[in-house]
């Protein structure tokens, strides 16, 4: 394991200032005092691991990331447990996925223990920024980008890995408990053989124009269909989807290479099966979705991901018609599964799968 050089901020945010800043938590607008940076140079490997003050990064204008978007990231949370300890949910799974993303973007792997250690170091330095469990959590954002100054097209030879942290409340603004989705029929997020299964910034860049169109239609988020037949439900710009039927079945689209393998999705498959639901990974078409919502066979639908955990889908709009799911204001299965998962994450329910890792 690399040695970390530790240089804490000399004048950290005062407790009063921090308490005031953490009064009204949003998502991703408030940041802690510190960051982790580790550099990679081909031939030398990972070096110069630093836990230091959070500050701007100086980059050469020719840095490859600014031109060819060689960038990947992760998102996970640190929670304050009832006994005061701070823990994270399946950080090892994020470390593994980070390296799968790295492979797809032709970037170097970061040893999994170094990924987890980097989070540990940051959380230890910024422990006071982890909100109380009833207020929120500390969102951790590890990311890596090509820093080599070079305009030719090839994998860069220098990278910077960072972790920053942001105290967060709920992900979606306002008191509304459901989201309205816009189903895009003319844009796709990812294609077979593309980068859809990698957590890279480029996928998000491609989702922003359809997202803006959805917002113009009064929707909160966009749901993307498959790129080939434009028929099969894939996922949202940043969350997976699940469908709950009256017969106790839950369907989620299979990981086909263009869907991001969500850790929330994976964990919910287990939690839902334990709660007595039959969980199937099965292709589900937009047309079938429309029919099932209208016939009432579909009871609920929800989006899932680390940031918002589970968000019920109340209404769906598209150029091919609008429909409401259930009574339009969410459902009991989403609530039950959310409580089950959040209970494990906050340490108020048993953790039979050993999903929690104590960080500090
Ligand atoms: C991160 C992400 C998800 C959710 O993954 P989790 O591990 O559950 O947070 C789903 N879809 C996309 C496109 C994502 O980037």
Q: What is the DSSP string of 101-127?
A: HHHHTT-PPPPHHHHHHHHHHHHHHTG
Q: Provide the pLDDT confidence category of residue 177 given band limits of 50, 70 and 90.
A: confident
- Rounded Cα gap, residues 312 and 332, in angstroms: 10
| Architecture of the 4-170 domain | 2-Layer Sandwich (3.30)
Percent of the chain with pLDDT over 90: 95
**Considering only CA atoms, which residue is closest to atom 2 of ligand 1?**
238
Q: Provide the 8-state DSSP code for 232.
A: B
- CB neighbours (10 Å) of residue 153? 8
Q: Which residues does residue 159 pair with via DSSP β-bridges, in sequence order? A: 40, 146
Which of 28, 71, 75, 197 should be mutated for ligand 1, with most atoms under 8 A from CB? 75
Which pLDDT belongs to residue 350? 97
Which residue has a Cα nearest atom 5 of ligand 1?
Answer: 262
CA of 141 to the centre of ligand 1 (A): 13
Contact 301/243 with Cβ under 8 angstroms?
Answer: yes
Instruction: Quote the ligand 1 centre to 45 CA distance (angstroms).
Output: 28
67 and 82 Cβ atoms separated by less than 8 Å: no
- The DSSP call for residue 29 is S
Averaged pLDDT of the chain: 96
Can you tell me the mean pLDDT for 191-204? 97
pLDDT for the residue 171: 52
Going along the chain, which residue ranges are E strands? Answer: 4-6, 34-41, 45-53, 71-73, 76-80, 86-89, 137-146, 158-168, 178-184, 221-225, 233-236, 240-245, 249-252, 278-281, 298-305, 309-317, 323-324, 356-358
Q: How much is the pLDDT for 97?
A: 98
To test the ligand 1 pocket, which listed residue (91, 98, 237, 238) has its Cβ within 8 A of the most ligand atoms? Answer: 238
Residue 277 predicted with pLDDT over 70: yes
Checking if the pLDDT of 41 tops 80, the result is yes
Task: Classify 21 as helix, strand or coil.
Answer: helix
Q: Which residues of 313-339 are buried (b: 16+ CB within 10 A; e: fewer)?
A: bbbbbbeeeebebbeeebbebbeebbe
- Ligand 1 centre and the CA of 239: distance in Å? 5
Q: What is the pLDDT of residues 217-249, one digit of tens each?
A: 999 999 999 999 999 999 999 999 999 999 999
CA of 319 to the centre of ligand 1 (A): 26
Residues 177, 329: contact at Cβ < 8 Å?
yes
How far does residue 305's CA lie from ligand 1's centre (Å)? 5
| Residue nearest atom 13 of ligand 1, based on CA coordinates | 238
Residue 162 has pLDDT above 60, yes or no: yes
CB 292, CB 245: distance < 8 Å: yes
343 CB-near residues (< 8 Å, 6+ apart): 349
Tell if the pTM clears 0.85, that is, is over it: yes
Query: For the segment 102-140, what is each residue's pLDDT rounded down to a tens digit?
Result: 999 999 999 999 999 999 999 999 999 999 998 999 999
Q: Please state, for a pLDDT cut of 70, what percent of the chain lies above it.
A: 98
CATH number of 174-345: 3.20.10.10
Beta-bridge partner residues of 280 = 251
Our measurement of the distance from residue 1's CA atom to the centroid of its chain's CA atoms, rounded to an integer in Å, reads 27
Which value, to the nearest 10 degrees, does the dihedral of the CA atoms of residues 74, 29, 355, 71 take?
0
Q: Quick one: pLDDT at residue 176?
A: 67
For the chain, where do the domains classified as CATH 3.30.470.10 start and end? 4-170
Which ligand 1 atom is at minimum distance from the Cα of 97? 7
Average pLDDT of the segment spanning 50-69: 97
Classify residue 195 by its DSSP letter. S
H/E element, 266: helix 263-274
pLDDT at 170: 64
Task: Provide φ and ψ at 352, rounded to 5°.
Answer: -65, -20
Mean pLDDT of 258-274: 98
Backbone angles phi, psi at 135, to 5 degrees: -105, -25
Instruction: List where CATH 3.20.10.10 sits in the chain.
Output: 174-345
Q: Give the distance (Å) from ligand 1 centre to CA of residue 199.
A: 8
And the tokens for 298?
């579909």
Query: What's the mean pLDDT in 85-101?
Result: 98
Of 320, 300, 292, which is closest to residue 231 (Cα–Cα)?
320
The answer on pLDDT for 344 being more than 90 is yes
Cβ pair 347, 79 in contact under 8 A: yes
pLDDT value for 286? 97
Residues having CB within 6 Å of any atom of ligand 1: 75, 199, 235, 238-240, 260, 262-265, 305-306
pLDDT of residue 1: 84
Distance between Cα 223 and ligand 1 center (Å): 13
């Amino acid at each position: 394991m690399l040695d970390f050089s530790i240089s804490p901020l000399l004048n950290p945010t005062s407790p009063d200032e921090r308490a005031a800043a953490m009064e009204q938590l949003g998502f991703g607008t408030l940041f802690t005092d510190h960051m982790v940076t580790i550099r990679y140079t081909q031939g030398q490997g990972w070096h110069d691991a630093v836990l230091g003050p959070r500050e701007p990064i100086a980059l050469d204008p020719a840095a490859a990331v600014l031109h060819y978007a060689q960038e990947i990231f992760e998102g996970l949370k640190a929670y304050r447990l009832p006994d005061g300890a701070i823990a994270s949910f399946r950080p090892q799974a994020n470390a593994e996925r980070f390296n799968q993303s790295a492979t797809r973007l032709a970037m170097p792997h970061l040893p999994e223990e170094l990924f987890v250690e980097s989070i540990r170091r940051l959380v230890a330095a910024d422990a006071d920024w982890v909100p109380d469990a009833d207020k929120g959590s500390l969102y951790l954002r590890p990311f890596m980008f090509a820093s080599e100054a070079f305009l030719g097209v090839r994998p860069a030879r220098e990278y910077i890995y960072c972790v920053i942290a942001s105290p967060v409340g709920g992900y979606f603004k306002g008191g509304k408990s459901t989201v309205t989705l816009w189903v895009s029929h003319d844009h796709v997020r990812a294609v077979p053989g593309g980068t859809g299964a990698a957590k890279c910034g480029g996928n998000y860049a491609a989702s922003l124009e359809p997202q803006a169109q959805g917002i113009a239609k009064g929707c909160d988020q966009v749901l993307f269909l498959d790129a080939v037949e434009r028929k099969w439900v894939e996922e949202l710009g940043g969350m997976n989807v699940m469908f709950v039927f009256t017969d106790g079945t839950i369907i989620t689209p299979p990981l086909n290479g263009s869907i991001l393998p969500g850790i929330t999705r994976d964990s919910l498959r287990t939690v839902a099966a334990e709660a007595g639901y039959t969980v199937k990974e099965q292709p589900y078409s937009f047309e079938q979705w429309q029919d099932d919502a209208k016939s009432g066979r579909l009871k609920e639908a929800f989006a899932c991901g680390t940031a918002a955990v589970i968000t019920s889908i109340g209404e769906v709009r598209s150029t091919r018609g609008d429909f409401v799911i259930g009574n339009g204001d969410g459902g009991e299965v989403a609530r039950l599964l959310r409580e089950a998962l959040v209970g494990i994450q906050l340490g108020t329910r048993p953790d039979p799968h050993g999903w929690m890792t104590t960080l500090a």
